[in-house]
A and B are shown apart, each in its own frame.
Chain A
Amino acid sequence: MNFLPLAHALASRQDLPVPAWLFAWGASIVLVVSFFALAAGWRTPRFEQLHERSLGAGVSRVLLGPPTQVLCGAVGVFLLGFAVYAGLEGTEAPDRNFALTFLFVTCWLGFPFFSAIFGDLFRPFNPWRAIGRAAGAGFRLIAGQRAAHVAYPEKLGRWPAAIGLLAVVWLEVVYGKGGTGFNPETVATATLVYSGYTLVMMAVFGAEEWCERGEVFSVYFGMFGRLGIFGTRDGQLERRRPFAAATTWATIPGSAAVVIASISTTSFDGGQEGAFKDGIETVYGWFLDWGASPTLSLRLSGTIFMLLCFAGVGLIYLLGVRGMRTVPGAPSLATLRVGFAHTLIPIALAYLVAHYFSFFVFQEQAQFGFLLSDPLGTGTTDLFGTVNWEVDYKVLSANAIWYVQVAALIAGHVIGLMLAHDRALVYWPDYRNATASQYWMLAVMVAFTCFGLYLLSVANG
């Protein structure tokens, strides 16, 4: 089949598929772990409380004080502005322009990875929040009163963020496929459009309100931040039990859609040249036959499969929730749907690590090498003397990447099971019923983890 050649804008290298023997080991370990989880569950929730410890008033005053807040916000605004500038003014070569690697690798992957360890790192650097708060402060200064905001529709919840998340990934892996759309200028323009939209929404609903619910990056990075060990409460910086903050994340409507969007978009990207390749090519062929142009056909077929992934992942979760309803003493379907959404966050993180870990490690060498010293790709600047630092692909062997991938999926599986078991103990005071409900979540988790392993093993056909 004369399939459109795929020009990967940034990645000049792809991971080898996980070999069959490692796939078999991974799947076996997942099953053993799962049976073990059925047998040896604890009887009182462990993660439902944060068990936080303050890091001390001094630390909080320095790290959370107004000067630090202003400084971090300014850094965020500067970097965003610089990325847009590089995108508009710099080279059109995607891999030589600061903008793409910074936005889609350093930020898009870096914030989830590090927030999952340390807590929400994006919030202090969020450029739109910084601008919104500065605007609010200015308004107070001039008008002498707080800006009045429209009450955010409670039912809308995090749906704008979920849809925005799909749109961002769509821009990267569907629209940008074939090397036609994913160039620095397009991304810079899209960033400007998104910034305008975000600032308007903040003006309408208030900066903090919109960041908590509608702003894609705040919600998405913040979700992973709930797994991390640092957080703030009442202006105090605290250390908390890992994963515990995730238990209160999904209370806003639409949160489940955000985590499902995360899992499904990663699945789509991981499978579009492997597991879903034949299907996508078939649909692509249909569109070609109907007279659509190759680029349009490629985008339409990709869009359809991305939405199918979203529907498929959502359906598996809802089936699990539906199954739990059959256990005596179960709360309402809506309660369960919201109540177990956070247990998928570790799975979403595991998918992200499995699919992008090596890409992140390699591409960050470019970020802190030639892209830092020659951000516009002009070939004439060398700001920090690192312009000759190219990517060294030898830092990770294929074996190392495979082990990280499989280990990430197994770890995500285990953490997801722990959170689900904990939540079940909250809903079912009777221990046996709680365990019974967990057969269903276990099936959901096994499905996701094995699907993740499968995607890795057939990557790139």
Chain B
Amino acid sequence: MKDAKKLVVALLVLVAAAAITACGSSDSSTTDTSGEENVPVSGQFAPVADAPAGDSKVDGEAELTRADGGTTVSLSVTGLEPKTEYVAHLHTGGCDQADPGGPHFQFKKGGSEEPPNEIHLEFSSNAAGEGEAEASSKREVPIGEAGSVVIHSAEGESHHEAATEGSGEAETVMASLFVHEGVDHSKEGPGHGAQPEHAHSEKIACAELEGAAAGEGEATAGAGEDVPTIVVRDGEPVGGIQTLEFSAGEEIRFRVSSDAAEEIHVHGYDIAKDVPAGGTIEFDFPAELEGIYEAELEGLGVQIAELRINP
């Protein structure tokens, strides 16, 4: 009888231990990424959806390496227009968004739209349509925020506009901070400090680095100005049902872009908005109900996101 008692006691302790460790381990799994610091992240370039016809064969690779507290981004591409100027930026989002890459990556969010606050790479293609570039920064891009590298045509970026806006000093800053390969410096007149919406139509190719991780929610949702965007394509959320976490009392903000016209319905809160084909709508309402609520494409009855509102 004594043995049976000991057995049960041991069993109870085991169950308790298992229960508590099971709980603890699920917490720690998300933060343990420190070991990956020096591992380069890379992605393949692919033309964006509305790339100009001449750039539809763009191929190549982008790579980002974090080392000694700094960051180096390099790219190597083929299939470009011969002898043409290009510029590439590090973006926070993934390539699957309606606006590929989303906003530019910035060390200080909402700060300067020029290096060193952003990472830009300028280069020209050779006669065979090949190009390479590398840029380094003395600061480390936080893990999960290096979403993608997006190549723009430099021609599309208005030199005149930039000049009149007086962003000329950027030239010297860039020259001192960045190593450019195959770039004709004399022609440099970066205009990418201009409005981001300009950049949209000029995008040529996108290489995803950590875009998927950033798109998962927390990195994008928690990052100050960045509003998470759910991309709907062919009646389904790109990357699966997105989880967006909020705390009760704060603002729930997210965007939905869709390739087809749909009504987006947030259950529980019972808020519905129409998104036009190829358009983007933004939701912005206070998180006053706690729990898990679905957002779905009302017409198709397909869930695209779950909103978790924690107390």
Contact = CB atoms under 8 A, between A and B. Distances in A.
Interface of A: 1-3, 5-8, 12-16, 20, 23-24, 27-28, 31, 34-35, 38, 179, 326-327, 358, 390, 393-394, 397-399, 401, 432, 436, 439-440, 442-443, 446-447, 450, 453-454, 457-458, 460
B12 A8 contact: no
B23 to A, nearest CB: 4
Contacts of B267: 12-13
A371 B293 CA distance: 21
21 contacts: A5-B296, A6-B303, A7-B303, A12-B294, A13-B268, A14-B291, A16-B292, A16-B308, A16-B309, A16-B311, A27-B15, A27-B16, A27-B20, A38-B8, A327-B4, A390-B270, A393-B268, A397-B311, A436-B4, A439-B8, A446-B11
A20 B23 contact: yes
Nearest to A461: B243
Given A12-B267, A394-B289, A24 B11 contact: no
A6 B268 CA distance: 16
A457 B309 CA distance: 16
Contact of A446 (B12, B27, B248, B303): B12
Classify the secondary structure of B's interface with A: mixed
A398 B290 contact: yes
A20 B27 contact: yes
B292 A14 contact: yes
Given A5-B302, A23-B19, A27-B20, 7 more contacts: A7-B296, A8-B294, A16-B292, A20-B24, A443-B11, A447-B15, A460-B306
B301 interface: yes
Given A12-B268, A393-B291, A454 B4 contact: no
Contacts of B306: 460
Contacts of B24: 20
B250 interface: no
Given A13-B268, A27-B19, A28-B16, A398 B310 contact: yes
Nearest to B301: A7
A32 to B, nearest CB: 10
A443 B14 CA distance: 11
B291 A13 contact: yes
B217 to A, nearest CB: 13
B291 A16 contact: yes
A225 B302 CA distance: 40
Interface string B112-155: 00000000000000000000000000000000000000000000
Contact of B311 (A390, A399, A447, A460): A399
A439 B5 contact: yes
Nearest to B27: A20
A185 B302 CA distance: 21
A386 to B, nearest CB: 17
Nearest to A328: B1
Interface string B256-298: 0000000000011010000000000000000011111110100
Contact of B240 (A3, A15, A327, A453): A3
B194 to A, nearest CB: 39
B8 A397 contact: no
B292 A460 contact: yes
Given A15-B292, A179-B301, A439-B7, A2 B240 contact: yes
B53 interface: no
Contacts of B302: 5
B22 interface: yes
A460 B291 CA distance: 11
Contacts of A358: 291
A34 B12 contact: yes
A376 to B, nearest CB: 21
A159 B51 CA distance: 66
Contacts of B26: 20, 458
A393 B240 CA distance: 27
A417 B233 CA distance: 54
Nearest to A15: B291
